[in-house]
Amino acid sequence: MSAGAGPGTAAATTVAAATRAERRAGWLFSAPALLAIALFFVLPTIASLALSLTDFDIYALADIGNLRFVGLANYSALLGDPLFWTALRNTLWFVALGVPAIMLVAFAAAVLVNERLVAWRPLWRAVFFAPYVATLVAAAVVWKYLLHARYGLLNHALAAIGLPPVDWLGDPRWAIPAITLFVVWKSFGYSMLIFLAALQTVPRELEEAARIDGAGWWSRLRHVTLPAIAPAAGLVAVLAVVSMFQLFAEPYVMTEGGPAQSTITVLYLMFDQGFQWWNLGLGAAVAVVLFGCILVAALAPAAALRLFRGRGG
Amino acid sequence: MKARLAMTALAALFAAITLAPLLWMVAVSLMQPGEAGRFPPPLVPADPTLAHYRALFANQGMGLFLLNSLAISTLATVLALIFTLPAGYAFARLRYPGRDTTVRVLLALLLVPGQIGMLPLFLELKALGLVNSYAGVLVPWLAGIVGIFLVRQYALAIPLDLVEAARIDGASEWRIFRHVALPVMRPAIATLALFVFLGSWNDFLWPLIVLSDHDLYTLPVALAALGRERSQDIELMMAGSVVTTVPVLVLFLALQRQFVGGLLAGSVKG
């Protein structure tokens, strides 16, 4: 409360100026949503931590009396499980391949849609965004057949330019890049919109001035456009990292985690442990590890930047 | 002029590649059985047929899954609006102790992915007897923090003077919300409704977990299950994909402006 603020407009925004009816309405209006969030979001999230310290399994599901507190045993079991390391490595590969690819394609699409020389720009914008709206499972089914080794269109296109066919989803070396290709197609439209919003804040005059000064297309991009969209690029990167950490439906539909577990992700492992084998305690430990990864990946860039700036200044 | 043509051609090429998988899906869904497996793969059906769509609805229960998806998405949308609109308005325009702290906590919660709590949520709903029901699928849509911030963003545009004038006229807080705030927030209502409808329609992991009864499956869950039984039947699978995704694609095309504008308001400013 800003007690020192004078009367009039400043006071109108403080709690002190509110009538009793308004304060009561504030709580009444927000209570249903807050209650739902507490019951169905916050409570389960915290309970995940607790659950990960127990041996909750199919026996405990039948009779809660079978539940035991096991401390960090689930975590040490995970660290000793090769499948966990495979899932983590696969997930990191998805992040490493997918994030730069999404940023690059989304940026190119945004530049194209923002370029005044291009005709029918709203049409292209809608087309680029359409895959993001499409139902993930349906699109994954379509891509499963597009990537098929024998009758898939992609191999057919490769053959047309003289390249040998690739067993995209059947070869452990190619399955991650192939699914990443699908994810980039599916999601670049969203990142494109964020880039587009940033590009539209670049003043046309600045662009014109650079042009008059004789700066070429590349040099204008490098010195005018890129600095202006740097914050948006950071946002796109963080959102892409977070979404790449949460891949599940893509491998579930396209490869069932295979071949040879080469596309099992951390979230897939949580689903398998929790709902296929009913090892809910172990599954919860996977969820907590995943949360830790996402938190680090989302907060690290900002923290690093702050540290870097702190030293510089 | 030449540059204009070249840049437009580039955009058109990029767009053609983007659309190709969706167009191919529709083309193959109309082909004769086995036609898509030929070499070289055909791009257009030689003798178009609706047989696969008929088979889906007659033998695979697609009509039921379509109804399930429609019912769940509609209910999710209505419930999300009921829970989110008053809260978003309160966070923006009502003054009460604890409001700013609540908003800060919710902002921090945005960083927590919903999947983290899915195992305990399943156990919680099992204890409440809501597993394997519409209600179980709907529960996460009641707790949409992103939606609350979207509504709050729009509600911040309601002039304080307008609210204050209504108060002086003796209107109750509910009446002000109903007759002053809601009309101003109409774009927020449309955007939020669209997001929740599309989001719940496309949702996969949670319905997969919570629904075990085949008759309750939504379209994506049913399509994934069908894909594991009939994966050799390309034309049938493509028809199933069309039924699953075309309703939301049409909805998007019809309300494209609303959608893109809302997304930018929600993601960049919020």
Name the β-bridge partners of A54.
Answer: A69
B240–A138: do the CB atoms touch at under 8 Å?
Answer: yes
Q: CA-CA distance, B142 to B127, in Å (whole number)?
A: 19
CA distance, residue B156 to nearest chain A CA (Å): 12
Better pLDDT: A57 or A205: A57
Please list every residue in chain A whose beta carbon sits closer than 8 Å to the beta carbon of residue B228. Answer: 256
pLDDT score, position A11: 41
Q: List the domain boundaries for chain B.
A: 1-49, 54-269
CATH of the domain at A135: 1.10.3720.10
In a domain, A187, yes or no: yes
In a domain, A295, yes or no: yes
Checking if the pLDDT of B270 tops 50, the result is: no
In a domain, A19, yes or no: no
pLDDT score, position B265: 60
* CB distance B140 to B255 below 8 Å: no
Q: Is A138 on the interface with B (CB under 8 A)?
A: yes
B83–A283: do the CB atoms touch at under 8 Å?
Answer: no
Count of C-beta atoms within a 10 Å radius of residue B2: 6
Contacts of residue B148, Cβ cutoff 8 Å, sequence gap at least 6: A33, B84, B87, B88, B91, B106
**For residues A249-277, average pLDDT:** 95
Lowest mean pLDDT among A116-120, B73-77, B195-199, B219-223: A116-120
* Interface pTM, i.e. ipTM: 0.92
pLDDT score, position A6: 37
Quote the percentage of chain A above a pLDDT of 70.
94
Q: Which of the four CATH numbers 1.10.3720.10, 3.30.565.10, 1.10.40.30, 3.30.70.20 does domain B54-269 have? A: 1.10.3720.10
**SS3 (DSSP) at A69:** strand
Residues spanned by the domain of A231: 83-312
Of B39, B202, B256, the CB nearest to A126: B256
* CB distance B11 to A118 below 8 Å: yes
- Model pLDDT for residues B118-136, shown as the tens digit of each residue: 999 999 999 999 999 999 9
Q: A276: which 2 tokens?
A: 């296929």
Helices B118-127 and A280-312 pack at an angle, to 10 degrees, of 140
Shortest CA distance from B124: residue in chain A:
A44
Q: Is A126 on the interface with B (CB under 8 A)?
A: yes
HSE, side-chain direction, 13 A CA sphere, residue B143: 24
In a domain, A76, yes or no: no
In a domain, A70, yes or no: no
Contacts of residue A207, Cβ cutoff 8 Å, sequence gap at least 6: A220, A224, A225
In a domain, A125, yes or no: yes
**For residues A120-134, average pLDDT:** 93
**For residues A232-248, average pLDDT:** 92
Q: Pseudo-torsion of CA A193, B20, B249, A195, nearest 10°?
A: 0
In a domain, A180, yes or no: yes
A115–B7: do the CB atoms touch at under 8 Å?
Answer: yes
pLDDT score, position A311: 63
Of B10, B21, B116, the CB nearest to A142: B21
* Segment 171-200 of chain A within 8 Å of chain B by CB: 185, 190, 193-194, 197-198
Q: Tokens 């127990």 label which residue? A: A54
Q: CA A276, A282, A288, A290 torsion: positive or negative?
A: negative
* Segment 132-191 of chain B within 8 Å of chain A by CB: 139-140, 142-143, 145, 148, 160, 164, 167, 172-174, 177
* Number of structural domains in chain A: 1
A18–B95: do the CB atoms touch at under 8 Å?
Answer: yes
Q: CA-CA distance, B30 to B50, in Å (whole number)?
A: 6
Quote the percentage of chain B above a pLDDT of 70.
96
Checking if the pLDDT of B7 tops 50, the result is: yes
**For residues B140-145, average pLDDT:** 92
pLDDT score, position A115: 86
B86–A291: do the CB atoms touch at under 8 Å?
Answer: no
Q: Is B99 on the interface with A (CB under 8 A)?
A: yes
- Model pLDDT for residues B187-209, shown as the tens digit of each residue: 889 889 999 999 999 999 999 99
